[in-house]
Amino acid sequence: MALNLYNITHSYFSIIARIALAEISIPYTPVLVNILNKSHPAQFEEDYIRLNPAGTVPSLVGSIVVPGEAQPREIALTESRDIVEWCFSLPTAPRLPDQVRDASDIVMERFYGGNWDYIFGVGLAAPDKEREALVAKWRDRETAAITKIEETERKIAAGAGVSDLEELLERYRRKKDQNAERIALYLPSLPPNPTAEFPFGLDRAKLLCSEFEADLKAAESLANELQPGVCEFWFAGPVFCPADVVIAALLTRFRVYGYEGVLFGPGTSGYPYLTNYWARLKARRSYINAVTDFKMDT
Ligand SMILES: N[C@@H](CCC(=O)N[C@@H](CS)C(=O)NCC(=O)O)C(=O)O
């Protein structure tokens, strides 16, 4: 068995996994998990939740022949961050200078740590017109979880001889609770109640762009320090690294939400470093392969 990437085209975290895999030229078969199917969300299917206890995409599962290793490596990675780190840890990945690795780790921690969802996820994804859609999606997932909980409880009561039913039940309950927590946490501050610290939609995107502009200036300095005369730099210095993968996915979000023209279009010069960086990201082979040209058999 080779590697299967369970994912869906437009999911943020799936994009992260695909860019990382493409960047290190790791072959894989994309397998669709239709998390958007309202009546039968595929992340709730028993076989999928057995594979990924959190019932989320992406998951990277299978085996891979790694140069220099006698046996194929078996992997089952169910967190996008783990997938990125794993790709960049392979012997075929470029070696990252320590300072680049450190700078990249800081970006990764900002992106994934603590309240990432609030800063990079929901807050960005919730301009006024999306509020209802977002809430409806959470409610649909809650309903799906309840349906699966009831179905699994019935199977257990009927004495169905499947050994992992209790474990599956626990996973469905966790999914239901997570959804409820999300709704309780985010609903009160969704538009029309943004705060100055956490504005929504385009204002949030602008706040992030200002931060990224400063990050890129620092990356340019580091690139010049490590490789004097280097003409290209990435998010954490002279080498493309995990930080670039997550920022590429985030900037793709900006595009999906229609912010690209306002932020980076002709005549706008608010973020010259970021505008230039984004153009280079989009022209990169891994981005074209994983995002622009990505197609999956359904
Ligand atoms: N921590 C996970 C988060 C993955 C995640 O939330 N994926 C979303 C799609 S972008 C998902 O599968 N949502 C479906 C659900 O939560 O039921 C990772 O980084 O891989």
Span from the CA of 13 to the centroid of ligand 1 (angstroms): 6
Q: Within this chain, do residues 24 and 116 fall inside the same structural domain, yes or no?
A: no
Looking at 46, 77, 93, the residue that finishes a domain is 93
| pLDDT (0 to 100) of residue 220 | 94
Atom 13 of ligand 1, residue of closest alpha carbon: 56
Span from the CA of 57 to the centroid of ligand 1 (angstroms): 5
Q: Would residue 295 count as lying in a domain?
A: no
Contact 15, 281 (CB under 8 A): no
Q: What range does the domain containing 79 cover?
A: 3-93
Given the CA of residue 44, which atom of ligand 1 is nearest to it?
17
| pLDDT (0 to 100) of residue 298 | 65
| pLDDT (0 to 100) of residue 237 | 94
CB neighbour class for 67 (10 Å; exposed up to 12, middle 13-18, buried from 19): exposed
- Cβ neighbours, 10 Å, residue 286: 20
Span from the CA of 247 to the centroid of ligand 1 (angstroms): 17
Looking at 163, 189, 215, the residue that finishes a domain is 189
| pLDDT (0 to 100) of residue 283 | 98
Contact 172, 44 (CB under 8 A): yes
Q: Within this chain, do residues 105 and 88 fall inside the same structural domain, yes or no?
A: no
Given the CA of residue 54, which atom of ligand 1 is nearest to it?
16
Cα–Cα distance for residue pair 220/273, rounded to 1 Å = 9
| pLDDT (0 to 100) of residue 166 | 96
- Block means of pLDDT (10 residues each) for the chain, length 298 residues? 93 96 97 92 96 97 92 96 97 94 95 78 73 83 95 94 93 93 80 75 91 96 89 92 97 92 90 96 98 89
Looking at 140, 167, 189, the residue that finishes a domain is 189
| pLDDT (0 to 100) of residue 119 | 72
Q: Would residue 294 count as lying in a domain?
A: no
| pLDDT (0 to 100) of residue 139 | 87
* Strand locations in the chain (E): 3-7, 29-32, 59-64, 73-77
- The answer to whether the CB of 201 is under 6 A from ligand 1 is no
- The answer to whether the CB of 55 is under 6 A from ligand 1 is yes
Q: Would residue 289 count as lying in a domain?
A: no
Q: Would residue 176 count as lying in a domain?
A: yes
In 3D space, the residue among 61, 37, 36 whose CA is nearest the CA of residue 47 turns out to be 61
Which residues are CB-contacts of 231 (< 8 A; sequence separation ≥ 6)? Answer: none
- The answer to whether the CB of 35 is under 6 A from ligand 1 is yes
DSSP string spanning 193-210?
Answer: ---SSS--HHHHHHHHHH
Residue with tokens 């078969």: 29
Number of domains in the chain: 3
CATH number at residue 225: 1.20.1050
Atom 17 of ligand 1, residue of closest alpha carbon: 56
Ligand 1 pocket, mutate which of 5, 57, 118 (most atoms under 8 A from CB): 57
Q: Would residue 297 count as lying in a domain?
A: no
Q: Within this chain, do residues 118 and 231 fall inside the same structural domain, yes or no?
A: yes
